[in-house]
Structure 1
């Protein structure tokens, strides 16, 4: 496994499989969804061992600690050796969906939601995600 001393954050996030492509990782950095100590970082930021990054990917937020530098993308089982996920259990999507997610289920055969139904569903979703922020 190739290991480098200097490595860009976008390449690192792609290599450890946080993002599917390096372009997505780079775009996330540019949009401010990757932070180091609360500060936005550029895609060219140099990764160092034991740094802690906050990565937002949609509604999911991860806190990742660098344990090794990985230049090329490897399979998921090997990629886990190069970072430590220190996200609190309360912030994981599985925890949120188990205890806090509203149950949005429509009866089978009721057809498509009407405009009014759609607005009510969107309002429920907005309320749910605003509480967590």
Structure 2
């Protein structure tokens, strides 16, 4: 792991080493799909990332905006991966807001607490036929 700005590593390798993606292939597909930007510009998988650059990663409903603190081409423990970047405060706030919205939306949807038994199935069938 290097913290100086002189050395660089491929963007797909860095995303994999920083544990944003489980495999380099997934990282490469996300980059090619326009889900990753470096310093506000679309990037290619082979672009070199240096310390101090800003990387914007979109994964599903969540968006991460991180500042590169170190570079590494090898995947290590999660503690090392977290040392490779720092997430901006705005990014954390946006993700938390999205998480709260999703939690509220899930709470509004009723969930079945058990599998229907014979009686429940018969009542449902009657209801669907219009005799309920």
**Structure 2 length-normalised TM:** 0.72
1:106 Cα offset (Å): 2.2
| Cα deviation, residue 17, structure 1 | 0.5
- Tell me, which stretches of 5 or more residues in structure 2 are unaligned? 117-132
Instruction: Judge conservation of contact 1:64–1:87 (CA < 8 Å) in 2.
Output: no
1:107 maps onto 2:112 in alignment: yes
Q: RMSD in angstroms over aligned alpha carbons?
A: 2.1
Matched residue count: 109
Contact 1:56–1:62 (8 Å) recurs in 2: yes
Task: Tell me the CA shift for residue 107 of structure 1.
Answer: 3.5
Q: Is the 8 A contact 2:15 2:27 kept in 1?
A: yes
> C-alpha separation between the residues in 1 aligned to 2:113 and 2:44?
47
Aligned match for 1:32, one of 25, 31, 34: 34
The answer to whether structure 1 residue 91 and structure 2 residue 94 are counterparts is yes
